[in-house]
């Protein structure tokens, strides 16, 4: 009789150990998923904060904006615009250029400057094409927004 009881108890103990190991591996998997979800949440929060940070009146740059001339001999060149944000939407910003930089001789010709500036004025650009300049005014605005003021 004791042999049967010992056999049953041994079997139950082995089943319990196997079941505990399965549960332990599931807990480890769930912890990994939780860590990944936390990282994704932090990235989403950072992205959301970045979207909020672009405000009307901010200064920004539009790097390596490709342009080309029309005519018999078209010239292709790139400029980095310095712009002011005029309007903000969910995924775009309306800009006004006040200066630009370029390494191309055509863009650096003073007779072409105003036409190059006027080309982008009033244009709507995707947010990811615009890089906000972090001056003291912008840093103060971000700090006030974080404080809820």
Query: Which range marks the domain in which residue 24 is found?
Result: 1-53
| Helices first, then strands: H and E counts in the chain | 4, 5
Q: Which one-letter DSSP state was computed for residue 133?
A: -
Q: What is the pLDDT of residues 113-148, one digit of tens each?
A: 999 999 999 999 998 899 888 777 777 777 777 767
* Domain co-membership, 9 together with 70: no
pLDDT bin (cut points 50, 70, 90) of residue 3 is: confident
* Per-residue tokens: 135: 């001056």
Q: What is the pLDDT of residues 19-68, one digit of tens each?
A: 999 999 999 999 999 999 999 988 887 776 655 578 888 899 999 999 99
* Per-residue tokens: 30: 């769930």
pLDDT of 14 reads 94
pLDDT of 48 reads 65
* Per-residue tokens: 104: 């191309």
Gyration radius from the chain CA atoms: 30
* Domain co-membership, 42 together with 30: yes
Residue 58 burial (CB count, 10 A): 20
Which residue is listed with tokens 């009307």?
A: 56
The total of structural domains in the chain comes to 2
* Domain co-membership, 83 together with 38: no
17: pLDDT strictly greater than 90:
yes
Which residue is listed with tokens 């936390």?
A: 38
How confident is the model over 94-108, as a mean pLDDT? 92
Bigger pLDDT: 139 vs 103: 103
* Domain co-membership, 131 together with 59: yes
Gap between the Cα atoms of 87 and 130, Å rounded: 13
How confident is the model over 86-91, as a mean pLDDT? 89
* Domain co-membership, 74 together with 32: no
Q: Give the residue among 65, 76, 68, 74 at the shortest CA–CA distance from 121.
A: 65
* Domain co-membership, 111 together with 94: yes
Answer whether 124's CB lies under 8 Å from 31's CB.
no
């Amino acid at each position: 009789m004791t042999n049967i009881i010992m056999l049953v108890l041994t079997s139950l103990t082995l089943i319990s150990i196997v079941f505990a190991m399965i549960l332990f591996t599931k807990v480890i998997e769930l912890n990994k998923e939780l860590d990944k979800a936390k990282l994704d949440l932090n990235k989403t929060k950072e992205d959301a904060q970045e979207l909020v940070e672009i405000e009307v009146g901010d200064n920004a740059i539009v790097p390596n904006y490709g342009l080309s001339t029309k005519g018999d001999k078209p010239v292709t060149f790139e400029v980095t615009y310095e712009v002011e944000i005029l309007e903000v939407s969910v995924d775009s910003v309306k800009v006004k250029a006040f200066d630009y930089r370029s390494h191309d001789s055509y863009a650096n010709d003073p007779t072409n400057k105003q036409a190059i500036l006027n080309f982008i004025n009033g244009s709507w650009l995707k947010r990811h094409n615009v890089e906000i300049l972090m001056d003291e005014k912008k840093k103060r605005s971000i700090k006030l927004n974080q404080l809820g003021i």
